Structure 1
Amino acid sequence: MLRGVNRVVLGLAGVVLVCVGGGVLAAGAGLSVPSWWPWDGRDDVLLSTADRERWRDESWWWPSVIAGLAILVLLALWLLLAQLRRARLTEVLVDSRDGEGALLHGRALEGVLAGEAESLDGVHRARVTLKGRRAGPEARIRLQLEPYASPARTLSRLSGETLARARDSAGLAVLPTEAHLRASKHGARRVT
């Protein structure tokens, strides 16, 4: 949900900036702009002569303005690239031993890992996310344990059985995994 809100806010900010910039360019080109627009003619400027000359004697002013704007542009580009980056791995390269390899959908491998993890004794729910490169995926597993489960035994079986089968079936030498374990809350038992 937060990502959706983030993208909507960024989209609205982008639309506002494009509209304001387009209005300034239209006024500068002599095209018709609304009467309420502050710059409505070819001879209007964004900064008046008094505003531009206020800091003229200060040698630090224009380099600091240019540096600040450059930092803002770099931050905006970094934020844009961070938004476009995929959080999940869409496909995994499987060694098919024929020299070419095969592609396995990341969601399929996530589903199989989650299903096998949920079949372990004491695991109530499992969520799996694959990240990294398609030739070297990394797994993040979140396990919700039953109140009676032993975390050490569950983690041992997860790494020794579930992840070992996934590595072997996908032909991966290693499958780095980060596991988060959380116990389910349970109510108090009634005593009669």
Structure 2
Amino acid sequence: MRRATANRILLGLVGLLLLALGLAVLIGSSDLQTHWDFRLPPAWPFSGPKDVLLTNHDRTLYTSDDWWWPVGIAFLSVMLLASLIWLLAQLRTGRLRQLRIDTEDEQGALIRGQALERVLTDEAEAYDGVEWAGATILERDGAPRARLVLGLAPHATPRDVVAGLDDEVLANARTSAALRELPAEVRLRAVRHRARRVS
């Protein structure tokens, strides 16, 4: 949870930085301050369409030094590699793709994680006191874990619902998938119904 929050904050900061840079370039290159008659702050990086990101002096300042190109290329390569690793880490959801079941015939069987999620969702929604449900099967340290989000009906008792889910829904999942254990994290949400006027 903390990792996801940190990723969102970091992505938000990077997005704001890129947005600010893009707006600075757009305003300067389009010469909007002249067309819309407003002034830019003195520290604004681009004040007109002829401005450049790097002047000739900036671009050629260190090119005569032997260390400049290797260091520059190495820095950009590390930044590119770190960005790709971070992007791939965001694409990994941690969801279980498939689960091998021991059928005791030396062959085994594979069950898709999405199929197990659908079964858990359907059985949880059919349980008394649950109006809607969502299930995700994650893989942690090579073992499956379940994450359930349940919308509770007004008459439901959270303790009874959680105990019943463990005794019935999760027990059925453990049995059907031949699992010794299936740790689960259950999040409960209260379902709010709109008040209706009765005449």
Q: TM-score range by the shorter chain?
A: 0.5 to 0.7
Range with bigger deviation, 105-114 or 87-96: 87-96
Contact 1:91 1:134 in 2 (8 A): no
Provide the C-alpha distance between the structure 1 equivalents of 2:170 and 2:60, rounded to a whole number of angstroms. 68
Cα distance, 1:60 vs structure 2: 9.5
In structure 2, give the amino acid aligned to 1:186: H
The equivalent residue for 1:93 is 100
Indicate how the Cα distance of structure 1 residues 58 and 115 shifts in structure 2: closer, same or farther if over 3 A, else same.
same
TM-score by length of 2: 0.60
Alignment partner of 1:181 out of 152, 164, 188:
188
Give per-residue Cα distances to partners, 1:27-82, cap 9 Å, x unaligned.
xxxxxxxxxxxxxxxxxxxx998445524799997787456424412322213422
In structure 2, give the amino acid aligned to 1:120: Y
Q: Does 1:138 align with 2:171?
A: no
Cα distance, 1:90 vs structure 2: 2.5
Gaps spanning 5+ residues in structure 1: where?
1-46
Provide the C-alpha distance between the structure 1 equivalents of 2:87 and 2:126, rounded to a whole number of angstroms. 40
Provide the C-alpha distance between the structure 2 equivalents of 1:102 and 1:137, rounded to a whole number of angstroms. 16
Provide the C-alpha distance between the structure 1 equivalents of 2:168 and 2:121, rounded to a whole number of angstroms. 13
SS in structure 1 of the partner of residue 154 of structure 2: coil
Contact 1:130 1:138 in 2 (8 A): yes
Name which structure has the greater RCO, CA cutoff 8 Å, separation 6+: 1
Identity %, equivalent residues: 47
The equivalent residue for 1:150 is 157
Indicate how the Cα distance of structure 1 residues 123 and 69 shifts in structure 2: closer, same or farther if over 3 A, else same.
same
The equivalent residue for 1:43 is none
Range with bigger deviation, 178-187 or 126-135: 126-135
Where in structure 1 do 4 or more consecutive aligned residues deviate above 6 Å? Answer: 56-64
Cα distance, 1:170 vs structure 2: 0.8
Indicate how the Cα distance of structure 1 residues 156 and 135 shifts in structure 2: closer, same or farther if over 3 A, else same.
same
The equivalent residue for 2:174 is 167
The equivalent residue for 1:29 is none
Instruction: Please report the RMSD computed on the Cα atoms of aligned residues, expressed in angstroms.
Output: 3.4
Provide the C-alpha distance between the structure 2 equivalents of 1:120 and 1:74, rounded to a whole number of angstroms. 48
Contact 1:123 1:149 in 2 (8 A): yes
The equivalent residue for 2:112 is 105
Give per-residue Cα distances to partners, 1:69-125, cap 9 Å, x unaligned.
244123222134225535532321112122332101222211111111111111001
Give per-residue Cα distances to partners, 1:110-156, cap 9 Å, x unaligned.
11111111111110011111121796222111111111111111011
Q: Does 1:124 align with 2:149?
A: no
TM-score by length of 1: 0.61
